[in-house]
Amino acid sequence: MGLGNAGALAILVAISMFSIGMANKNFSADWNGNWNHTAGWPYGHWNADQTSKRIIVGGSENWHFGFNYTDWAIRNGPFYLNDTLVFKFDPPNDTTFPHSVYLLPNFWSFQNCDLRRAQKIAQVTQGGGEGFEFVLKRWQPYYFACGERNGFHCKNGMMKFSVWPFFRRY
Ligand SMILES: *[C@@H]1O[C@H](CO)[C@@H](O)[C@H](O)[C@H]1NC(C)=O
Ligand SMILES: *[C@@H]1O[C@H](CO)[C@@H](O)[C@H](O)[C@H]1NC(C)=O
Ligand SMILES: *[C@@H]1O[C@H](CO)[C@@H](O)[C@H](O)[C@H]1NC(C)=O
Ligand SMILES: *[C@@H]1O[C@H](CO)[C@@H](O)[C@H](O)[C@H]1NC(C)=O
Ligand SMILES: *[C@@H]1O[C@H](CO)[C@@H](O)[C@H](O)[C@H]1NC(C)=O
Ligand SMILES: [Cu+2]
């Protein structure tokens, strides 16, 4: 194989920690850390699909309490650099509950729905209309969560998911 133990281990750790969005598909990485999609990926995908996408988080479910967004991310990933995630949620009124979007700083806070060092990226009013848009600009894991009720929506409402966008191959 020619892959050093340390490198292989690092890749395994990365894959196991950040596998959301790439489950059920097979990938490999080269020495530079570039991902290479191998057998199983539909032929012609790269030629047919070169532009960044606008993806509604949750699809027709939008962004609400009680929908499994981790599962959604696995089924709808992988996502690519410069893809736009769109969070749609109704502004709060007497009959709807407020939601928001936060970025959590690391895997631990994501697992525990710990919002202490989280960054609020969308207020409760920003999910209306065309929705709140977030561009996946960097090659890094992103940890998204709803911040309402001090983590309750994240923890009990499953309103969280992570993505690590891939480089799109042309
Ligand atoms: C990607 O992996 C496949 C299978 O291992 C290999 O045949 C192909 O040359 C690789 N492509 C690149 C660009 O590294
Ligand atoms: C890749 O995944 C496909 C199905 O998703 C499977 O049929 C194929 O055997 C896998 N290839 C490798 C090299 O694991
Ligand atoms: C959500 O989906 C993920 C991935 O399919 C699964 O592992 C997890 O158990 C689900 N969570 C709940 C609370 O059902
Ligand atoms: C993403 O978009 C920016 C600005 O439009 C561009 O500079 C960058 O090269 C793009 N990155 C990728 C991976 O396409
Ligand atoms: C609250 O918002 C929902 C969704 O936008 C809407 O269907 C409903 O009519 C609104 N209710 C009130 C009392 O404004
Ligand atoms: Cu919420």
Ligand 4 mutation pick, 52, 53, 82, max ligand atoms within 8 A of CB: 82
Which one has a higher pLDDT value, 107 or 11? 107
User: What domains sit in the chain, N to C, each tagged with a CATH number?
Assistant: 47-169 (2.60.40.420)
Is the pLDDT assigned to residue 110 strictly greater than 70?
Answer: yes
* pLDDT given for residue 16 in this prediction: 42
Residue 148 has pLDDT above 80, yes or no: yes
Q: Would you say 124 and 99 are in contact if contact means Cβ atoms under 8 Å apart?
A: yes
Cα separations (Å) of 69 from 4, 12, 40?
35, 24, 24
User: Which strands, in side-by-side order, build the sheet including 132-135?
Assistant: 54-56, 84-87, 132-135
User: Structure tokens of 54?
Assistant: 């606008």
Task: Work out the pLDDT band at 66, boundaries 50, 70, 90.
Answer: very high
Q: Ligand 2 center to residue 119 CA distance, Å?
A: 38
The more confidently predicted of residues 11 and 169 is 169
Pairing assessment for the beta strands 84-87 and 54-56 based on DSSP bridges: parallel
pLDDT digits 0-9 by tens, 21-60: 444 444 555 555 555 554 444 433 343 345 889 999 999 9
Measured in Å, residue 38 CA sits from the centre of ligand 1 at 7
How far apart are the CA of 66 and the centre of ligand 6, in A?
Answer: 9
80 CA closest ligand 4 atom index: 13
